[in-house]
Amino acid sequence: MLRRRRQLFTKVSKIVDAALFGLAFWVTHALRSLDIFDRGELIQDFSSYAWLLLVVVPLSTPILELQGYYLRSVLGSRRQSLWILARTAAWVSLAAIAVLFFRKTEGARLIFALYIPVAVLFMWAKDELLRAWSLHRHGREIARRRVIIVGGGTDPARLEKALRLDQFPDIEIVGRIDLNERPIDELADLLHTHSANSVLIAPRQTLFGNIERTIQLCELEGVEVWLLADFFQTRISQTTVDDLHGHPMLVFRSGPDVSWQAMGKSAIDFVGSLSLILLLSPIMVAAALAVRLTSPGPVFFRQQRAGLNGRPFTMLKFRSMVTNAEQLKQELAALNEMSGPVFKVTNDPRVTPTGRFLRKWSIDELPQLINVLRGEMSLVGPRPLPLDEVARFDDLAHRRRLSVRPGLTCIWQVRGRNNVSDFKEWVRLDLEYIDNWSLWLDFKILLMTIPAVFTGAGAK
């Protein structure tokens, strides 16, 4: 993992950990207030102790950091982690007792006795959730970076060994190529075949023309470039300098960078999709029953779509067409109203009466909230296209729309909606979103989507 990503992950972890230590203190007081712990002591309201959060919360993460908690692997020793957590909770508890002593304030002793196991339990549960996510196949695939090594005159396998890339589970080498001997088109094929996230260039013996063409290709496709920059003595202005496990890198990006806003977007996607699934579940159940009862075939339409960097995923929709819609598509090719590789037809004869209603109010798209919850899509982002349409892109620059997660809604839907008939205009709006992305822009698009849905301006 690049250092900046590690630092961002550590900062988020510290905030979560501090909140958990504070929550544990509140829960401990609530447990102390139960009748089963009646020891004849005066039980004070939590407001009498709330000021101690100013001691508990700020102290917890520095103590964890001093013990190397944030340097350990997520899959490291459970015993070591529990020992660190127990010592930290004990030190925090002792600090709170010391503050009470010097302020000559009385406190219920049982609160501080209970605090240590409660705080350890909360932190241990968080660690186990992270461990389970890291071990789960879906979690590993989302966290792992798929890297192609580009090196001229250098054995890529030797470079891989020198950088010790095989020792890190967050990096998967999916391809190796020497551009001094093979054309740049082969690199493009590797990017498409493996849905690579990053290209690592070792430039010592690579022709600078090849380096430039590699960066330009990745820039068009929205793929990160890691330039192994151990030959530079000084930092170059207006470049992103990072390191890969101690090796200096220059990172070229044409898509959104890792940031607090990006972390916030992921959190909003998870909480928002989960909330909407719970809120709209009666509508989803009714839609599923309507599809089942009015048309033979499955309730859901499943199709392989291009996700982040073109990685295939199974997108879900309520089935709005007849079951042999894909076979009939070839017969309707002459009616296509969209230029380029995308297929769009007004009053598509394959759509069932129930499907026409679901499409009008965008109800057929609701199952994609599950894709958002799984991390395959986002609430806001370029709409995902079928793999065969992506394969027919005649301009590599169009692939840069794949540099972010696809979404339920985006600029072209709230601006042009069904009026966009030129695929190049569609891509232009998607790239406008990518180049100007912010959480505020996502919020505005979500607000603009609401009237588009409620006025029945659904997809064709």
Closest C-alpha to 195, from 315, 305, 341, 342: 305
Please say which residue of 252, 274, 307 terminates a domain: 252
Assign 316 a pLDDT band (cuts: 50, 70, 90). Answer: very high
Q: Say if residue 61 is in the same domain as residue 174.
A: no
pLDDT above 50 (res 76): yes
Q: Say if residue 346 is in the same domain as residue 278.
A: yes
| Residue 51: other Cβ atoms inside 10 A | 11
Assign 259 a pLDDT band (cuts: 50, 70, 90). Answer: confident
Assign 51 a pLDDT band (cuts: 50, 70, 90). Answer: confident
What is the rounded CA–CA span in Å between residue 323 and residue 21?
54
What is the rounded CA–CA span in Å between residue 187 and residue 192?
9
pLDDT above 50 (res 300): yes
Q: Say if residue 266 is in the same domain as residue 244.
A: no
Number of domains in the chain: 3
Token duo for residue 90: 């004990």
Token duo for residue 264: 């916030």
Answer for the pair 241, 249: CB distance below 8 angstroms, yes or no: yes
- The DSSP element (H or E) to which 407 belongs, if any, is strand 407-409
Predicted pLDDT of residue 108 = 61
pLDDT above 60 (res 13): yes
Backbone angles phi, psi at 352, to 5 degrees: -80, 160
**Total count of residues recorded for the chain:** 460
Q: Say if residue 74 is in the same domain as residue 117.
A: yes
In tens, the pLDDT along 236-245 reads 445 677 888 7
**Greater model confidence, 304 or 10:** 304
Closest C-alpha to 396, from 212, 255, 219: 219
Q: Say if residue 86 is in the same domain as residue 23.
A: yes
Helix 260-294 to helix 3-32 angle (10° resolution) is 80
Strand spans (E) along 307-406: 312-318, 378-380
Q: Say if residue 236 is in the same domain as residue 267.
A: no
Please say which residue of 207, 228, 252 terminates a domain: 252
Predicted pLDDT of residue 61 = 93
Predicted pLDDT of residue 17 = 94
In tens, the pLDDT along 389-429 reads 899 888 888 888 998 999 999 887 777 555 667 788 888 88
109-118, 153-162, 262-271, 308-317: lowest mean pLDDT where? 153-162
Q: Say if residue 236 is in the same domain as residue 269.
A: no
Predicted pLDDT of residue 241 = 77
User: How far is C-alpha 291 from the geometric centre of its chain's CA atoms?
Assistant: 32
Predicted pLDDT of residue 206 = 65
Does residue 68 belong to any structural domain of this protein? yes
pLDDT above 50 (res 175): yes
DSSP letter assigned to residue 151? E
How open is the CA angle 209-242-128, to the nearest 5 degrees? Answer: 130
Helix 78-102 to helix 3-32 angle (10° resolution) is 60
Share of the chain above pLDDT 90, in %: 32
Backbone angles phi, psi at 303, to 5 degrees: -145, 140
State mean pLDDT over 312-317: 95
Closest C-alpha to 187, from 136, 152, 161: 152
- Average pLDDT for the chain: 83
CATH code of 159's domain = 3.40.50.10700
Q: Say if residue 289 is in the same domain as residue 375.
A: yes
Answer for the pair 399, 221: CB distance below 8 angstroms, yes or no: yes
Predicted pLDDT of residue 368 = 96
83-87, 171-175, 254-258, 303-307: lowest mean pLDDT where? 254-258
Q: Which residues pair with 228 in a beta bridge?
A: 249
Predicted pLDDT of residue 118 = 92
Q: Say if residue 273 is in the same domain as residue 248.
A: no
Q: Which domain holds residue 305?
A: 260-454
